[in-house]
Structure 1
Amino acid sequence: MRKSDHLLARFFIFTFGLLIMSLGIVLIIVSDFGASPWDVLHVGLYYQLGLSIGTWSVIVGFAILGASGIMMREWPKLGAYLNMILVGLYIDMLMMLPFLTEPQGWMGKIIMFIVGMIIYSYGMGMYLSAELGAGPRDSFMLALTAKTKWKVSNARRFMEVVVLIMGWLLGGPVFIGTIVFSLAVGTFIGIALPQCRTLTNKWVYKKSEIQMMEEIKRGASL
């Protein structure tokens, strides 16, 4: 595969992964079982200052991206900025879909929430595997991991708890699912990311089976 074909394939994986991740975000919000910590913050800002949830996702993203750049002492990749804008647009677009409505019973809420978490994690793993630049929150997660030498799962849990407190103080929608997301999302991502990287490498880069097995082993330690 030519280098230009590699880039095109990676761009497709990147943008499709962002769409999948955004769908997971929206499912979690609509489930009414408790928004993810970042979305507790976005919704809280929406409640207090107006605009839209997607718009606040972009605005907060700019601030987080700046912090990541300072920590790593380098400019984030172009994909990080594209990530920030597309996720905001995708969230607002998906929130308008008429068939994505809040489930009536508790079982439906729980199922939608869990499905949303799974979709979110694999969407993130998919776009990160394209290696076109992590988004603002994920850039910060990776920067924190690099600086502290923590596992990805531990760094993500720390971020989620801090943001949760901020969003709660702003009046964001905190419920049981919010706590579950904060504690479990790092593990979900730790499982999804190496799997997505392996599939991307197999499709785009045609890496050998030995190289892919090494990546799977590294992912198991996340």
Structure 2
Amino acid sequence: MQENTYELIDNPIGINFIYIIRVVVFILGIFILALGAATVITARLGVATWDVLHIGLANLTNLSVGRWVQIVGIVMVLMTSFFEKKRPGIGSVLNILLVGFFLNSILELNLIQSFNGLASQIILLIVGIVLMGIGSGMYVASKVGAGPRDGMTLFIAKRFSISVRLSRTLLEITALTTGWLIGGPVAIGTFVSVFLIGPIMQASLKFWTIQLNKLYSLY
């Protein structure tokens, strides 16, 4: 059987090239994820689960949405690191910082045009959700740095002997409820994102994993 993973490649040049490609896919995926989140926010029909919390916190403070993405993410990574008694991964920290930076930049530069018509808002919502799913699948496939919720999900599942799906659902419900209680925007878009982001992310993850494995096979 041919090995596909980059760790087993003996060619130093090949290793460096593949690592660069993985980092490019990682950063591009993070940017597309942030672009999708900004598009959903601009649609004003409700936002993805965790952005309900981030926007709710932003409305209570003078800090931006992107800054709260970073703060909440760092807290989750540090909590997971503390509970598991492991150092936070550099890739995971970079993941958090880049998402918040890109999201703030996109919103502050008004890169996404706002519309008042319902049909236009629905189109923005769907496009944003698709972009979030594609971006998420890309950065996960790169294996450069997991998101903050990924580590916490696995820890909770292991600690309480429950399924990963249940663990993730509990985290999502907690974020959604907390965000809603502090004034985060919950609307039809929130529930649409719950059902659509997962399947789109899975398809993106499969696609990019196959592409990267093809690249590994060349070396």
TM-score (norm 1): 0.83
The equivalent of 1:59 in structure 2 is: 71
1:173 to 176, 182, 185: 185
User: Measured at CA, do residues 27 and 146 of structure 1 come closer, stay the same or move farther in structure 2, by a change above 3 Å?
Assistant: farther
Query: 1:9 offset after TM fit, Å?
Result: 1.2
Query: 1:95 offset after TM fit, Å?
Result: 0.5
1:107 to 114, 119, 122: 119
Structure with larger Rg: 2
The equivalent of 1:158 in structure 2 is: 170
Query: 1:161 offset after TM fit, Å?
Result: 2.1
Query: 1:187 offset after TM fit, Å?
Result: 3.1
Cα distance in 1 for partners of 2:88, 2:16 equals: 22
Letter of the 2:44 counterpart: D
Query: 1:207 offset after TM fit, Å?
Result: 7.5
Matched, 1:12 2:28: no
User: Measured at CA, do residues 49 and 24 of structure 1 come closer, stay the same or move farther in structure 2, by a change above 3 Å?
Assistant: same
1:129/1:193 contact within 8 Å kept: yes
Per-residue CA deviation, residues 130-184 of structure 1 (Å, 9 max, x unaligned), is 11120212333444556656355x5544332221100001101111111222344
Cα distance in 1 for partners of 2:204, 2:189 equals: 20
The equivalent of 1:139 in structure 2 is: 151
Identity of aligned residues (%): 32
Matched, 1:91 2:95: no
TM-score (norm 2): 0.84
Relative contact order, CA 8 A, sep 6+: which one is greater?
2
Per-residue CA deviation, residues 93-148 of structure 1 (Å, 9 max, x unaligned), is 00123341222211111111111111111101111111112021233344455665
Output aligned runs, 1:69-80, within 5 Å. 69-70=81-82, 72-80=84-92
1:182 to 181, 190, 194: 194
1:42 to 31, 46, 54: 54
Cα distance in 1 for partners of 2:58, 2:107 equals: 14
Cα distance in 2 for partners of 1:91, 1:128 equals: 18
2:40 to 15, 28, 33: 28
Q: How much is the aligned-residue C-alpha RMSD, in angstroms?
A: 2.3
User: Measured at CA, do residues 43 and 178 of structure 1 come closer, stay the same or move farther in structure 2, by a change above 3 Å?
Assistant: same
Cα distance in 2 for partners of 1:184, 1:202 equals: 28
Cα distance in 2 for partners of 1:192, 1:145 equals: 24
Query: 1:81 offset after TM fit, Å?
Result: 0.6
Letter of the 1:35 counterpart: V
Query: 1:71 offset after TM fit, Å?
Result: 5.0
Cα distance in 2 for partners of 1:115, 1:161 equals: 24
User: Measured at CA, do residues 142 and 177 of structure 1 come closer, stay the same or move farther in structure 2, by a change above 3 Å?
Assistant: same
Query: 1:33 offset after TM fit, Å?
Result: 0.9
